[in-house]
A and B are shown apart, each in its own frame.
Chain A
Amino acid sequence: MSSVLPVPYVKIDKQGVILNRSAKAIELLDLQTETIRDCFDEESHNKLMKYMMPFEGEKTFEANIKARNHPFLLCDISVCWEGEFAHVVFIPIGKHVQGLEDKLLELRLRLSSTDFELFEKKEALEDAMKRLDELSGPFIPISEKMAFVPLFGDVNESKMITVTGNALKAAYEGQFEEIFFDLSATGEIDEGGVQKLSELFRMLQYMNGKPVKIIGVKPKHARQLTALDVDWPVYFETSLKDVLIEHLQIGKAPQV
């Protein structure tokens, strides 16, 4: 019955002599194998001895076997002892690892052709870009209750990720009632930017309990902001000037 098992299988005794083997095992193993030791690559013998002992229980391990068409073939070996005998199954895992090996080879080639000076320049450039992103959305506390975030330059996803991190941290640390985002100095806003911008506004709203306010929206921004059908959790105000006048007047004594 065991000879029709769909995997390479052998049955051995405690001396390691092979008593029985499946058709798949005959296909896989070297022809001259009489004992289990013969099946394994010399350098895997230690591992074999270690995991055959103490002749009981079940074990699974990786080892190289001598295959008929390959001097060493990586397999998952499962051993299960049943009294005087053990059942051993070999599952070649070469194919799974093959893909990995190819990837590694590719990386190695890439590595040998990499100019590391250039690579380091690129890394430095990436750091500079990130710094630029940080500076493109500074979080400015105007008073204890009011904060102001001008967005400079084009707004894209990577810039918004950086700005979001800083803004949330600052908003968490301060107790701002009103946060204004100013788009006066903003260039283009791409789709990723719109997405991240709306996420940031929503998060700030949850943190503050109050929607943020946007000022300085130009017509082209209005088109870009509505392009994605986002439900904007914000109030729109016209300009920083108007906002400040309004707030300053609130603080002033009423004019007689």
Chain B
Amino acid sequence: MAISEAEKLARLFLEGNHAEALRFIKQQPDQNRMVLFRDLFTPAMYMIGDLWENNEISVADEHLATGVCDFVLSRLFQVSADEATNKKKAMFLCLQGEQHYLGIKMINSLFDEKGWETKYYGASLPLEYALKSALQWKPEVIGLSVSIVYNLPVLKNYVRALAALPNKPDILVGGRLTEKYDLEPYVNKQGIIIKNLQQVEKWLDEYTEERINVYK
């Protein structure tokens, strides 16, 4: 049986073969980040989750695959360093206790590709730190990620506190749970729920358009 490209990538991650995984991604005909994330990285990591469900791999294997995937993402999609003053700003973080950070890392990278200045805080950022840095840096957008039900209760506080910042940032909420459950009660109309990569892209395009219209 022929194996899909995403499955090939999943296998390389599980083998810990970062060099081969890098080469594999570089050889893809379409180097658009969105396409790579949507068609390869995300399905590969979901497959690894399924393998655990089927008792074919252990949590230790999953951790290794996560580490390799993280390395490959960091290596291929470096966030650009130039800090032009007129760039729009966005910051990304996982809720306190949340360790599933690969998704939001990819979102961060998409924003970067679209010319935003971004700050990526990765896994488990306590609300007080998030507030403090958002207050200083004044991002237009703050992206939150949550993947474990147990971490859900604090989402409400995050959204409420961050949406109330003086510069009124847009709050985006994403992560695996957004597709499984209706998170609206937690977000309470103060944030935008993003279910997948395509929705981010759509939102980004609309946001840019609105901006252009405002300045016309």
Question: Which positions in A face B, CB cutoff 8 Å?
Answer: 42-43, 46-47, 51, 61-62, 71-72, 74, 93, 96-97, 100-101, 104, 107-108, 111-112, 114, 116-117
Contact = CB atoms under 8 A, between A and B. Distances in A.
A110 B60 CA distance: 20
A96 B60 CA distance: 9
B60 A71 contact: no
Given A93-B59, A111-B70, 10 more contacts: A42-B149, A43-B149, A51-B55, A71-B150, A72-B150, A74-B59, A108-B122, A111-B74, A116-B75, A117-B78
What range describes how many residues of B lie at the interface?
20 to 34
Contact of A47 (B53, B70, B71): B53
A114 B73 CA distance: 13
Interface of B: 52-53, 55, 58-60, 63, 66-67, 70-71, 74-75, 78, 120, 122-123, 148-150
A42 B152 CA distance: 14
A97 B59 contact: yes
A47 B55 contact: yes
B78 A111 contact: no
A116 B78 contact: yes
B53 A97 contact: no
A108 B78 CA distance: 14
A107 B72 CA distance: 13
Contacts of A101: 63
Given A104-B66, A111-B74, A62 B53 contact: no
A195 B67 CA distance: 37
Contacts of B148: 43, 72
Interface centre among A96, A97, A108 (most CB of B within 10 A): A108
A117 B65 CA distance: 24
B52 A111 contact: no
A108 B149 CA distance: 24
B158 to A, nearest CB: 19
Contacts of A62: 52, 55, 58-59
A112 B53 contact: no
Contacts of A97: 59-60, 63
